[in-house]
Amino acid sequence: MSDKRDDRKTLYTAADLDGVDHLDSQPGQAPFVRGPYASMYTQRPWTIRQYAGFSTAEESNAFYRQALEGGQRGLSVAFDLATHRGYDSDHPRVRGDVGKAGVAIDSVEDMGRLFDGIALRDVSVSMTMNGAVLPVLAAFIVAGEEQGADQAELAGTIQNDILKEFMVRNTFIYPPQPSLRIVGDIIAYTAKAMPRFNSISISGYHMQEAGASLVQELAFTLADGREYVRAALARGLDVDAFAPRLSFFFGIGMDFFAEAAKLRAARLLWSRIMAEFGPQNPKSLMLRTHCQTSGVSLQAQDPYNNIVRTAFEAMSAVLGGTQSLHTNSFDEALALPTEFSARIARNTQLILAHETGVTDVVDPLAGSYYVERLTADLAEQAWALIEEVETVGGMTRAIEAGWPKAQIETEAIRQQAAIDTGEQVIVGVNRFQREESDPVDVLDIDNHAVRQAQIERLDALRAGRDAQRVEASLGALARAAQDGGNLLAASVEAMRARATVGEVSDRLRAVFNEHDGSPALVRGVYGEALGQDPQLQTLIARVAALDEPPRLFMAKLGQDGHDRGARVIASAFLDFGYAVETSALFQTPEEAAAQAIEAGAHVVGVSSLAAGHKTLLPALIEALGAAGREDIIVICGGVIPEQDHAALEAAGVAAIFGPGTKVLDAGARVLDLVTGKRRNA
């Protein structure tokens, strides 16, 4: 989303560069404002990556091979949510998640199938994994070994950015302190054994997707990075042994020039932060980043507009100097991308690299009055926020207090209010709407079939392995967790023995326990932003006229931790006068039904962003019915293709709110359902 700032002027001149001290910076020289490398794209374009995982390892493998043949230069793996959360595919808590938002990986065998015919010593592999990072990275290492690759030959990046998960994405497993220990162990192991591998990708992308402003994304991401450096140094590592292999990951939204300036400001500030640690290698001061175009800017309405949005965002990332780039597919506001949409997204980068001339010159925006001023302003504002983090004791303490999450959530609610009032224009959504939208073919994955196949493979794996060796390796892992010892090294041994992702994660759960993050809702922000809006005041009056306020229970089912939508809705409905409770994350349908009944809910709202709705919503309705509470209204919202609406309605879902829904309209519709139910009672 755009991060509009009131202090932006309509005209910038040379006078606006007074006091800007980075103007003499050269590409490839600290503080790297103009790029980390002197030649930038004139010698070698950015790495084209497409983040993808499709249900099974075999289907994902076929996609990867096709992408590499089509000009992609690196692989980015999307894992399903069961894998992210450290559950094997046969675990009862993940029945709606297996193979849905990425590829299911339970074992080294699955990892081997994922890269069958793809030489891991020859290709760079990026893996977005944080919660179950130990067994997944260990499985990748062992799969490489079994291809004949030495660990030192493996190239790529593991995200390994757990602090961000506690703020926004929520695919955590363990509490912050042991999670930070895992990060440090991975940095230490890879620094010694895997010199071509980036041990961490410090991510702001998911912060922006959760609603963070550009300043918040920049500040909190770099503050996370500072915390990880301190964690590595606390293990006795020399800063130059690991700092050159740190990488970053930023989101790129529709604020075109500011997004480019953000990347320039990020390099400036990271150079400043790293100078604190006294490195001798200039590469330790250098911020290198992967970028991904925005998912939240994609719209379900008039979805072919998303191709244009993504192209502008990709250009902004390149002008800002990214080292690699993923372009989202236009249909991702509707469902998982198809081969057709993924090809358009990849070709967007190829056209950008080969037809526009952006690779002919280093940092073409340098010297722009506007961009240089934006760079300096973003750096100044972000630095002030970074220093504020320091006053509370660093990012781990700030996250434990819930402060960054509350800051981001408040900004997300303000953004939603700006969209609902039309202050922020989105073409095809709140302006220039079409009567009808073009039909779009979307990808549909048979979750049941994928899960059943994974269960059969797990059964075969467990029947054929050396059970004593597995147990011995898991015992060694538990002792390392309790007594000290590198947890990645112990996980590699466990995966060599054919332990599963779930077994490794469960053994660590037994030592570290699980994290339960349920912060309080933000109140008053949506209502204040809309003020005396007539529709808002009418809705508030209607709710106030009832004998008791409608009670909404907002639920997150399955392993989908993306809670921006659920929390924005819950906060706004509080401002309408509803009584609102929210579930803990990662609920089963049966748990959510029991909690909703205990809360006396009139309505259960389910936010679904990871494609599990066709399994989980009918199970929720069935659980309510089994308890004799068919009277509780069930509604849902999120990324739900129109082709799924009929099945959900037949199962008993009373209303479906897709992307782009005005929250005020949703509030009025839900009130109509509640009052209609009461009249008919």
> Would you name the residues annotated as active-site residues?
51, 205-206, 556, 560, 562
Q: What letter would DSSP give residue 16?
A: G
Q: At 202, give phi and psi (nearest 5°).
A: -80, 115
* Cβ–Cβ under 8 Å, residues 101 and 128: no
Q: At 54, give phi and psi (nearest 5°).
A: -125, 100
How far apart are alpha carbons 49 and 46 in whole angstroms? 9
Q: What letter would DSSP give residue 584?
A: P
* Cβ–Cβ under 8 Å, residues 253 and 208: yes
What would the DSSP string read from start to end of 472-484?
HHHHHHHHHHHH-
Measuring CA to CA, which residue among 203, 198, 191 is closest to residue 161? 203
What is the CB neighbour count within 10 angstroms for residue 237? 18
Q: In what order do the strands lie in the sheet with 155-158?
A: 197-198, 155-158, 124-127, 74-77, 47-52, 324-326, 289-293, 246-252, 200-203
Measuring CA to CA, which residue among 408, 385, 417, 380 is closest to residue 208? 408
The interaxial angle of helices 564-576 and 403-421, nearest 10 deg, is 70
Q: In what order do the strands lie in the sheet with 579-582?
A: 579-582, 551-555, 603-608, 633-638, 655-657
3-state secondary structure of 253: coil
Measuring CA to CA, which residue among 303, 277, 267 is closest to residue 378? 267
The contacts of residue 15 (CB under 8 Å, 6+ apart) are none
* Cβ–Cβ under 8 Å, residues 110 and 60: no
Q: Which two tokens stand for residue 85?
A: 């959360």
3-state secondary structure of 553: strand
Query: To 5 degrees, how large is the angle CA 443–CA 449–CA 451?
Result: 105
* Cβ–Cβ under 8 Å, residues 467 and 333: no
3-state secondary structure of 197: strand
What would the DSSP string read from start to end of 571-583?
HHHHHHT-EEEEP
Place of tokens 């549909």: 444
Any idea of the CA torsion for 236, 237, 240, 245, to the nearest 10 degrees? -150
Place of tokens 């081997």: 112
What would the DSSP string read from start to end of 198-226?
E-EEEE-HHHHHTT--HHHHHHHHHHHHH
